[in-house]
A and B are shown apart, each in its own frame.
Chain A
Amino acid sequence: DSGVTQTPKHLITATGQRVTLRCSPRSGDLSVYWYQQSLDQGLQFLIQYYNGEERAKGNILERFSAQQFPDLHSELNLSSLELGDSALYFCASSVEGAPSGINTGELFFGEGSRLTVL
């Protein structure tokens, strides 16, 4: 158990719909990262938040958005869903992540949310 909690574990929805994925980081971790992994694909970095602020952005579509709340949990919002958005969405957390932090890079991943768009 990594200590990172993601909900829901599974989600089935239709094209054009909107969903919200939730992530609770490990206690004390300030950074939250979102990754997308399609079938047999690598992990695509989407976005990172540190202590409520967006820190880095990767290949995140404009239809997707995220935020990190004062209690440090994060939500990833996916809208106007397409078939190609079907994937495993992972959240990870780390203690550090500020630009001046030590680059140790240890992330703790949740079990993922499997999204199926029909």
Chain B
Amino acid sequence: LAKTTQPISMDSYEGQEVNITCSHNNIATNDYITWYQQFPSQGPRFIIQGYKTKVTNEVASLFIPADRKSSTLSLPRVSLSDTAVYYCLVGGYNKLIFGAGTRLAVHP
């Protein structure tokens, strides 16, 4: 399984764009990159998933360079409600391992 590395924490202000980068140097050919969001005392929630290049949905964008050894989750114009822990996962279904995640704090 590909090991992931993310910043432990980040701070931002309302209205700013936030970019969280995840390193996954030993990603396998068949692996997808998936990001989850977790609020306190709630289960993680799927945000976005990609394989290569760029993926965009209604809440975020995911940028993946050609070598796929890293990925960047981009949250446009964050609000206070985006304060949460964000997890980057790489790999298949089996033994899906969550790392420590990035604790994002959005300030007024």
Q: Which residues of A contact B (CB under 8 A)?
A: 2, 4, 31, 33, 35, 42-43, 45, 48, 50, 55-58, 88, 90, 92, 94, 96-99, 101-112, 114
The answer to whether B41 has its CB under 8 Å from any CB of chain A is yes
Residue in chain B with minimal CB distance to A6:
B43
> Smallest CB–CB gap between B19 and chain A, Å?
22
Q: Which of B10-18, B52-60, B96-104 contacts A (4 or more CB under 8 A)?
A: B96-104
The answer to whether B45 has its CB under 8 Å from any CB of chain A is yes
Q: Which residues of B contact A (CB under 8 A)?
A: 28, 30-32, 34, 36, 38, 41-46, 49, 87, 89, 91-101
B43–A42 CB distance below 8 A = no
B100–A109 CB distance below 8 A = no
Residue in chain B with minimal CB distance to A42:
B100
B49–A105 CB distance below 8 A = yes
Contacts A42-B99, A42-B100, A42-B101 known; A103 to B92 CB distance under 8 Å? yes
A106–B101 CB distance below 8 A = no
A105–B92 CB distance below 8 A = yes
Residues in chain A near residue B92, CB distance under 8 A: 101, 103, 105
A106–B95 CB distance below 8 A = no
A111–B94 CB distance below 8 A = no
Say which residue of B41, B49, B94, B98 sits within 8 Å of A43 (CB atoms): B98
B32–A90 CB distance below 8 A = no
Say which residue of B93, B97, B98 sits within 8 Å of A103 (CB atoms): B93
Residue in chain B with minimal CB distance to A91:
B43
**Alpha-carbon separation in the docked complex, A31 to B101 (Å):** 24
Say which residue of B34, B41, B42, B98 sits within 8 Å of A45 (CB atoms): B98
Q: Choose among B28, B95, B96 the residue with the greatest number of A CB atoms under 10 Å from its CB.
A: B96
> Smallest CB–CB gap between B48 and chain A, Å?
10
Residues in chain A near residue B101, CB distance under 8 A: 42
